Amino acid sequence: MFKLMRSLMVVVFIFLATMTFAFPAVAADKEDYITIIFTHDLHDHILPFTLDKGGTINEYGGFALIKSAVDEERETDPELLLLDAGDFSMGTLFQTIFAESAPGLSLMGQMGYDAATFGNHEFDYRAQGLADCLNAARQNNQKLPALLVSNVVFPDGDKEQLTESLSDLNKAMTDYGTREYIILERNGKRIGIFGLIGSEAISNAPMAEVAFADPLKTAVSITETLKNKEKVDLIICLSHSGTSNDGENSEDELLAQKVPDIDVIISGHSHTKLTEPIITGRTIICSTGEYGEHIGLLKIKDDEDNNWQVSHYQLLPIDDRLPADSGITATVEKYRQKVQTDYLDDMGMTFDQVLAYSPFSFLPAAEIGVRHEEEPLANLIGDAYIYAVKAAEGTSYEPIAAAVVPSGTIRGTFLKGNITVADAFAVSSLGIGPDKKAGYPLISVYLTGRELKTACEVDASVAPLMKPAQLYIAGMTYTFNPHRLMFNKVTSASLLESNGNLEEIDDDSLYRVVAGLYSAQMLTVVGEKSFGILSIVPKNKDGEPIVDFEEHIIKDLTGGNNNEIKEWAAIAGYLQSFAAQDGIPQIPLYYSQPQGRKIVSQDTGLSAVWGDPNAFALKVYLITALLLLLIIFIVYKVMKRRKTKLSATLDR
């Protein structure tokens, strides 16, 4: 009996010890830590997508897999925060139903996101498109993420500026419940979260119609409110601003420096993948890349001085090790069918239709424009524009001298293997046309020969300052030397005929040029970006400056439907035109390497760097020479005066 009692006492003691030491430890852990899972720049990559990593092609991402990864973490911490820092839309065929179905936003609600902010691409379909998206999301879903937008501004009291579309967006945002910030409570902590659109992102939303308040001033005001009025324990900024290796342009690092009361910045827009967070002062900056290839996991704990410290940080890979969530999969399939019936059926295509086969992989989209050189995928796109115009105009076709493709408009790539309709759309997925259908249309403009050469100089001189502005020009060949004076880098330029022959460019003649609607409009701002030194004025065939670019959209004159020729559809049609093997068109090996369209000379010889100056360079050289002569003259005068004073002193 005594032994039995002793055994029972030992069991009771162990049980009490477990209760005393284990449970409080778990409770303390739960109270001390805040878990944040974050995404940004998903760009409607709702389905898994393929990546070529060292020759191995696998699938990554997809909302059904992201949901499973989040659920795994929720098992450990049911009170975690799930946040997104903008650009959740625009980038795949799912964007074609953005306005009527809001697939990205709706799925984020189903996945349990607590909050999200707008990026610049949420404004791609202009104010009316975003208004329709918000209304559709609210009407079709019971649960949605809080939308936090602190620096979007509507005209106040000016009825002329408050257009119908702006009025609709203002009402849609109010009805949805968008606000500057929210306060959530997790693990006993009051957490203030606000959303912000940065300066560069604002500049990339020219069709937004709304105005934007200064991001830094807005952040200062919001954080003061959260800290002093709301008395929160933790401040999180969902910032669609981004980071950069260039500290002067790293907006979220500057934000952390100038608004130090922000504890955590979830940094979107720049698509940066930070394997370790950036710590600026006491602010933790996190970024997880793009498209949902990874999601970010951050665990933080406040110390005795009420500063939040990183306990754990990890980018969780979203790949086939994860099971696909069945609920999300079912919803995605519903949206996929809607894309087919509402968009692709009218174009005579299907979602997974194979357009061509590529025997090689092109450069990943994230690397296009990083190096200042010719890019084969851009060559294919430019050639596709010219091919599409020929096909659309038939016997009415007027020769095109050049097709312009900026690197910033290339949003995807083609990997070795079959290329589908969905792949072609992803490569050129931006914008919407006047027909209210997804995809920027092609337009036709005329430039003088001098302006064609200027376009080459824009690429040579402006692109190093603005990587998205790097140009690829089909129909031309030109050489530039990066060591030469800015705005005088191009040393030769010629038209390049399809048979390989070169044609001299006549400065005063008009040449027909094709480009996307957005790209052509951006040509007009070259003067601003080059400080007024370079100038390109798109014209009609009579040489008159274009006022309304939409009047010059290229339509299908041969198919009987008069549809706009979309950038992405031009690529799809060109892919189908290649010679077939076993019934599938094959991308020619011609596009596996550069073709001498953009030639970069690294010659640092004296004549190569300083020889054959243009008018701008001559002016710079003349001014420099005059300044040098002035300096020499001043030095001479000063030395002469000193010598005179010294002589006078010695004479005494």
Share of the chain above pLDDT 70, in %: 93
Backbone angles phi, psi at 464, to 5 degrees: -60, -25
Q: What confidence score (pLDDT) does residue 20 get?
A: 33
pLDDT of residue 527: 58
Name the phi and psi angles at 163, rounded to 5: -65, 170
pLDDT of residue 3: 45
Residue 60 has pLDDT above 50, yes or no: yes
Per-residue model confidence as pLDDT tens digits over 202-219:
988 888 999 999 999 999
Res. 13 pLDDT band, cuts 50 70 90: very low
Distance from C-alpha of 252 to C-alpha of 246, rounded to nearest angstrom:
12
User: CA 487 from chain center: how many Å?
Assistant: 27
- 284: closest CA among 251, 260, 316? 260
> What sign does the dihedral 452-456-461-466 (CA atoms) show?
positive
Q: Which two tokens stand for residue 618?
A: 């001559």
Distance CA 390, CA 400 (A): 9
Distance between start and end Cα atoms, the chain: 125
Residue 93 contacts residue 343 (beta carbons within 8 Å): yes
User: Residues 346-373: pLDDT tens digits?
Assistant: 889 999 999 999 999 999 988 888 899 9
User: What's the number of CA atoms in the CB half-sphere (13 Å) around residue 644?
Assistant: 6
The distance from CA 218 to its chain's CA centroid, rounded to whole angstroms, is 23
Backbone angles phi, psi at 481, to 5 degrees: -115, 110
> Element (H or E) spanning 495, and its range?
strand 490-496
Give the pLDDT band of residue 622 (cuts 50, 70, 90): confident
pLDDT band for position 27 (cuts 50, 70, 90): very low
Residue 561's pLDDT is 75
8 has a pLDDT exceeding 60: no
Report whether pLDDT(260) > 90.
yes
SS3 596: coil
The CA distance from 524 to 538, in Å, is 7
Q: Residue 159 — pLDDT band, cuts 50, 70, 90?
A: low
pLDDT given at position 524: 66
Q: Do the bridges between strand 115-116 and strand 146-147 make them parallel or antiparallel, or are there none, so unpaired?
A: parallel
Looking at residue 9, its pLDDT comes to: 43
Per-residue confidence band for 247, with pLDDT thresholds at 50, 70 and 90: confident
Are residues 444 and 552 in contact, defined by beta-carbon separation less than 8 angstroms? yes
Confidence grade of residue 28 (pLDDT, cut at 50, 70, 90): very low
pLDDT band at 7 (very low <50, low <70, confident <90, very high): very low
Q: What is the pLDDT of residue 637?
A: 83
Distances (CA, A) of 555 to 97, 270, 633: 22, 35, 65
Predicted pLDDT at 646: 72
Q: Are 71 and 324 in contact (CB under 8 A)?
A: no
For β-strands 264-268 and 189-197, DSSP reports them as unpaired
**Parallel, antiparallel, or unpaired: how do β-strands 49-53 and 56-60 relate?**
antiparallel
Beta bridge partners of 442: 516
Which pLDDT band, with edges at 50, 70 and 90, does 465 fall under? confident
Mean pLDDT computed over 390-397: 93
Render pLDDT for 298-327 as a digit per residue (tens, 0 to 9).
999 998 888 899 999 999 999 999 999 999
Taking the C-alpha atoms of residue 630 and residue 469, their distance in angstroms, rounded to an integer, is 38
When pLDDT is averaged across residues 397-415 and rounded to a whole number, the result is 94
pLDDT of residue 229: 97
Whether the predicted pLDDT of 157 surpasses 70? no
Q: Give the pLDDT confidence score for residue 174 in this predicted structure.
A: 96
What is the band of 31 on the pLDDT scale with cuts at 50, 70, 90? Answer: low
Give pLDDT, residue 2: 39
Q: Is 140 exposed, middle or buried (0-12, 13-18, 19+ CB in 10 A)?
A: middle
Q: How confident is the model at residue 488 (pLDDT cuts 50, 70, 90)?
A: very high
E strands in 6-134: 33-39, 49-53, 56-60, 81-84, 115-116
Q: Above pLDDT 90, what percent of the chain?
A: 75
pLDDT in the model for residue 420: 98
* Cα–Cα distance for residue pair 104/542, rounded to 1 Å: 45
The predicted structure's pLDDT at residue 413? 96
Q: Would you place residue 24 in the very low, low, confident or very high pLDDT band (cuts 50, 70, 90)?
A: very low
In the numeric block, the tokens 């050129």 are attached to 428
Q: What tokens were used for 533?
A: 């030194």
Order of all β-strands in the sheet with 510-516? 442-448, 510-516, 402-406, 471-474
Q: Is the pLDDT of residue 15 over 70?
A: no
How many Cα neighbours within 13 Å face the side chain of 488?
16
Q: How confident is the model at residue 194 (pLDDT cuts 50, 70, 90)?
A: very high
Q: Which helix (H) or strand (E) holds 528?
A: helix 526-529
The beta strands (E) that lie in 523-623 are given as 580-581, 584-585, 598-600
Task: Count the Cβ atoms, other than its own, within 10 Å of residue 536.
Answer: 24
pLDDT of residue 652: 62
The model's pTM is: 0.88
544 pLDDT higher than 90: yes
Q: Specify whether the CB–CB gap between 223 and 193 falls below 8 A.
A: no
Amino acid at 455: A
State how far the Cα of 164 lies from the Cα of 98, in Å rounded to an integer: 20
**Residue with more model confidence, 479 or 15:** 479
| CA 209 – CA 435 distance, rounded (Å) | 18
Categorize the per-residue pLDDT at 53 as very low, low, confident or very high, splitting at 50, 70 and 90.
confident
**3-state percent breakdown (helix, strand, coil) of the chain, nearest 5:** 40, 25, 35
Q: What's phi and psi for 630, nearest 5 deg? A: -65, -40
Q: What is the pLDDT of residue 520?
A: 82
Q: What is the DSSP annotation of 414-451?
A: --SEEEEHHHHHHHT---B-TTS-BSPBEEEEEEEHHH
Pairwise CA distance, residues 57 & 239, whole Å: 32
**Residue pointed to by tokens 């809080």:** 146
Pairing of strands 308-317, 294-302: antiparallel
Do 130 and 87 meet the contact criterion of CB atoms below 8 Å apart? no
The angle, 0 to 180 degrees and rounded to 10, between the axes of the packed helices 126-140 and 164-176 is 30
- Cβ contacts of residue 429 below 8 Å, gap of 6+? 90, 91, 92, 95, 411, 412, 438, 439, 568
The pLDDT mean for the chain works out to: 90
Quote the pLDDT of residue 1: 42
CA–CA dist 571, 282 (Å, integer): 48
Q: Where are the alpha helices (DSSP H) in 182-324?
A: 199-203, 215-224, 251-258
pLDDT value for 183: 98
Q: Are 474 and 594 in contact (CB under 8 A)?
A: no
The token duo for 494 is: 């010629």
Q: Quote the pLDDT of residue 301.
A: 95
Question: Which residue type sits at 131?
Answer: A
Cα 262–267–273 angle (5° rounding)? Answer: 135
Instruction: Say how far apart CA 290 and CA 37 lie, in whole Å.
Output: 15
Q: Give per-residue pLDDT as tens, 491-517.
A: 999 999 888 899 999 999 999 999 999
Question: What pLDDT, on the 0 to 100 scale, is given for residue 644?
Answer: 78
- What confidence tier does 643 reach under pLDDT thresholds 50, 70, 90? confident
What are the beta bridge partners of residue 83? Answer: 38, 115
Residue 348, phi then psi, degrees to nearest 5: 70, 30
Average pLDDT over residues 64-85: 97
Residues 197 and 118 sit within 8 Å (Cβ to Cβ): yes
